[in-house]
Amino acid sequence: MQALLKRNAVCFAVLLVLLLSAYYFGRHYDLSKSQNQAEQQVQQLSHYLKAELTRFASIPHFISDNQLLSQFIENSDLSNNAINSYLVDIQQASGASDAYVLDTNGDVIASSNWLLDYSYVGSNFAFRPYFYQALAGQPLAYFALGQRSQERGIYFSEPIYNGNQVIGVVVLKINVSKFENDRQLLNTSQTSDFYLMLDDGVIAMSNQPSWRLNTFQELSDTVLQKLIKSRRYLDHKPSNVSTTIINVQSINLLDIKQNTTTKQYVFADAKIGQLNGKISVLVDVTSVSLEQIPRLIWLSLFYVLALIISYSLMARFAGYKKLLFSRHSLEQEVIERTQALEKAQLALIQTAKLATIGQLSAGINHEINQPLSAMNTYLVSAKRLIAKGDINAAQENIVIVQGLIDRVHQIVGQLKHFSKPAQTQLRSISLAQLLKNAMLIASAQLKQNQVKVKPIQINDEVCVWVDGIKFEQVLVNVITNASQAMDKQSVKELSFELELFDDRVKLSILDTGPGIEQHALNSIFEPFYSTKSSNGLGLGLSISKQIIQSFDGCLTAHNRPNGGAQFIITLASDKGAL
């Protein structure tokens, strides 16, 4: 019972750790995602505002170049209807709210709203910075409350010159509501808010009406009096919207309290140089903590499900323990009996090999008869040379006999290759030398069968990657087989062909014999398969193929179109071509 309680306590503790970790990392992920969203949106919003402000700022400069406007300012007796109509066209084409012209005293002498009830004509705006700075030759973009309309606007001013003298100022006003209402162009989502804060801390623009012309920071009485004195906001006194910045998981959050509710935002800022302010985008993350609940519920369900599956598997494992023990005992017994059967099978294979070697020993004369005949010939010649006193020539014959004896040992080595695999010593050897050695052993057989050998010229630089002794065994075997196959043919010719390609060497041995019977083409390389009625044991070609394969080469046989057989040996020219 205590063990069960302890196990349940551990499971609950693990679940608690998982839930806390999921809550922590899930909340951080959502906050980071909202932070990225705010940064992307503030960049889009700032680019849009800057482009629009730049566009509107160029319009007053365009108006100030109008010569009719300069003539009208200098000659007050001229009718202002043409100028007013011109300003109406500019206002409608640009999308601005108003366009008007002031003289050097700050009086409006022409305006696009001249026919409306709230016409600016006759009004004096000399107190506005956009007027007296433009009069001083400095164009300005300036935010302020309209004296007549009481609407928030951005004023773009440009001096009007006559030569080098400023004779007036042209002003273009844009209602801020144009930007606030155009959310599609601003490309901000419905879950985000934005505001434009000027350098004096007052919010000039926002999609939240309660934030407009208010501040997110407490203003001192001195600052408030200065704002009122500037008449930028006329008689409006900015209120403070309660805000607090906190840092959660390395992300700054802005808490904004309005009435009885508090919302939490992640935010990103960008500077708007034309208005000496900054634009901010706020993404609402008030419910980010509650949004973790579905994740935690799903995690709990998966955890409980995993526990149920684990307990079920453990119960089954406990039930199968005894069966597994019994199974292990039976498997051990099966392994022992299998090993005994394998040993018996290996013994049978070895017995079969020894029996085959015994049969091969009885017919080994077939393989070494020619070297022995050659040795006999050279020994008889050596005796005659000794009798004549030609000791040097006799010594040369004895050296040749010694070489033939070595070759006989090499031929007998085929039996060892078949009975027990030997370690192959591969190296790059001249093909011409190997073929010369093989022809020396097979020469007696070729002479006996009266075979004509068509010579082949092989460059000494052509090498093959082989074990020299074993490869000579293959050549001797194929050459003597070809010689014996041509025994009853009228034309007996043995020839060789050499091809070099892609670091490979292809040597073809061709005869003019009867060829290979069609049914035997797929069987001649199998052990114990022989086309010879009495002397053949069928091991020569099988062993030859094994030797060539150990060199990573290939030995194949085909019938020639004009009669005879063709044995093809393909080998690598060096180790790097394997």
- Write the CATH number for 102: 3.30.450.20
Q: Is residue 326 part of a domain?
A: no
Q: What is the pTM of this model?
A: 0.52
| pLDDT at residue 269 in the model | 93
Is residue 184 located within the same domain as residue 274? yes
The enclosing H or E element of 62 equals: helix 2-64
Query: Positive or negative, the Cα torsion across 449, 454, 457, 463?
Result: negative
Neighbour count for residue 172 (Cβ, 10 Å): 30
Is residue 508 located within the same domain as residue 444? yes
- 153, 171, 189 - which closes a domain: 171
Is residue 144 located within the same domain as residue 111? yes
User: Which residues contact residue 367 at a Cβ distance below 8 angstroms, ignoring those fewer than 6 apart?
Assistant: 411, 414, 477, 480, 540
Structure tokens at 66: 């109008």
Is residue 135 located within the same domain as residue 273? no
Structure tokens at 433: 């030398």
Distance (Å, whole) CA 559 – CA 566: 6
Is residue 86 located within the same domain as residue 195? no
Is residue 232 located within the same domain as residue 151? no
Inter-helix orientation angle 365-388/431-448, to 10°: 90
Distance (Å, whole) CA 50 – CA 56: 10
Q: Is residue 387 part of a domain?
A: no
Is residue 425 located within the same domain as residue 571? yes
- 268, 284, 300 - which closes a domain: 284
3-state helix, strand, coil in the chain (%, to 5): 50, 20, 25
| pLDDT at residue 547 in the model | 86
Q: Is residue 360 part of a domain?
A: no
CATH number of the domain to which 526 belongs = 3.30.565.10
pLDDT band per the 50, 70, 90 thresholds, residue 353: very low
Is residue 78 located within the same domain as residue 102? yes
Segments of 215-260 assigned E as strands: 242-248, 251-258
Q: Is the pLDDT of residue 417 over 60?
A: no
Is residue 90 located within the same domain as residue 194? no
| pLDDT at residue 352 in the model | 39
Tens digit of each residue's pLDDT (9 = 90 or more) over 488-503: 888 899 999 999 988 8
Structural domain that includes position 16: 2-171
Segments of 274-317 assigned E as strands: 277-284
Distance (Å, whole) CA 141 – CA 173: 10
Mean pLDDT of the chain: 83
| pLDDT at residue 156 in the model | 94
Q: Is residue 455 part of a domain?
A: yes
Is residue 46 located within the same domain as residue 156? yes
Q: Is residue 357 part of a domain?
A: no
Give how many domains the chain has, as a whole number.
3
Residue 173 near residue 98 (C-beta atoms within 8 A): yes
Structure tokens at 16: 């608690």
Q: Is the pLDDT of residue 260 over 70?
A: yes
C-alpha to C-alpha distances, 1 to 4, 8, 314, 316, 488, nearest whole angstrom: 5, 11, 18, 20, 98
Distance (Å, whole) CA 384 – CA 447: 22
Q: Is residue 398 part of a domain?
A: no
Tens digit of each residue's pLDDT (9 = 90 or more) over 355-412: 434 534 434 555 577 677 778 887 888 888 888 888 888 888 888 888 878 777 766 6
Is residue 124 located within the same domain as residue 184? no
Tens digit of each residue's pLDDT (9 = 90 or more) over 420-475: 555 668 899 999 998 988 887 777 678 888 899 988 888 888 999 998 888 888 88
| pLDDT at residue 495 in the model | 93
Is residue 188 located within the same domain as residue 144? no
Q: Is residue 373 part of a domain?
A: no
Lowest mean pLDDT among 270-274, 354-358, 547-551: 354-358
Distance (Å, whole) CA 530 – CA 364: 15
Q: What are phi and psi of 555, to 5 degrees?
A: -125, 120
pLDDT band per the 50, 70, 90 thresholds, residue 99: very high
- 284, 305, 330 - which closes a domain: 284
pLDDT band per the 50, 70, 90 thresholds, residue 578: low
Q: Is residue 297 part of a domain?
A: no
